[in-house]
Amino acid sequence: MKKSLFVLILASLLLASCGSKKVATPAKKIERISHAVPVSSDQTRRLISEARRWIGTPYRYGGQTLAGTDCSGFVMMVFDSVYGLKLPRSSAQQRQYSLPIAEKELAPGDLVFFCTSGGSAVNHVGIYIGSGKMIHASLSKGVMESALDEKYYSQRFHSAGRVVTPTSDSPSEIAADRRELKNKIKQLEKEKKKLSKAAPEAKPEAKPEQSRQIKTNQQLIIQQQTTQPDTTYVVTDPSIFD
């Protein structure tokens, strides 16, 4: 009897491991998503690749490492690794952190939320990877890939959300943006130098040729003044001095 009671308590704790006391809207059945959603960016591909790297990690309540993780810890670590984002720790908080979207708008990298404990509170989360599938930390099998139209998950589906992530994409695109910024800075520096050289002038200055001609004319005038003979006056009538 005591052993059965212990097992029941342990099972209840595990079921609530991703849960929260916050009340959410009632769960509804998710429609089958039969078409593949294309991966739209390098970062989304990196996100899915990182999520797949965790497949096979055992379930561990409160864990968030490759040695063992729960559902919200898995999501939190994947987004932190790819985007550097610190998501909330519980699945219910992650739902409130993300932007609500309709099931038909699901795209790779979005989050999907479930109510698996029989109530209306969100207590499970997974990462949607396209083609109607998600990667999540299952209570019984650890991190794995599952289809959203599986009876268990379709009946317990609650909602979907999109995490607002940084706009920059791949490292190559970031490097290109930095190069473009550097080029713009260099161009601005060149324009600044041009403006500093083109200072306003009070009056027009003589060109070098004009300056040399003016100096030459001045020298000729001085030379003429110094070499011109004195004027000699011949007095023919001395009486003018009387």
**Considering Cα of 151, then 155, then 158, then 160, what sign does the dihedral take?**
positive
From the list 127, 154, 124, the residue with the least C-alpha distance to 139 is 124
The catalytically annotated residue of 18, 71, 115, 158 is 71
Q: Where are the alpha helices (DSSP H) in 84-170?
A: 91-97, 151-156
Q: Which two tokens stand for residue 232?
A: 């000699």
DSSP code per residue over 187-217: HHHHHHHHHHHS---SSPPPPHHHHHHHHHH
Given 18, 35, 115, 136, the catalytic residue? 136
Residue 124 designated active-site: yes
Mark whether 136 is an active-site residue. Answer: yes
The values of phi and psi at residue 182, to 5°, are -65, -40
Is 71 among the catalytic positions? Answer: yes
The catalytically annotated residue of 18, 115, 124, 158 is 124
CA-angle at 32, arms to 28 and 37, nearest 5°: 120
**Which residues on adjacent β-strands are paired with residue 64?**
69
- Residue 12, H or E segment: helix 2-15
* Per-residue CA distances from 227 to 35, 212, 215, 220, 233 (Å): 108, 22, 18, 10, 19
- HSE at residue 115, side-chain half, CA atoms within 13 A, is 18
Q: How many CA atoms lie within 13 A of 30 on its CB side?
A: 29
CA angle at residue 108 from 106 to 111, to 5 degrees? 65
Residues annotated as catalytic are 71, 124, 136
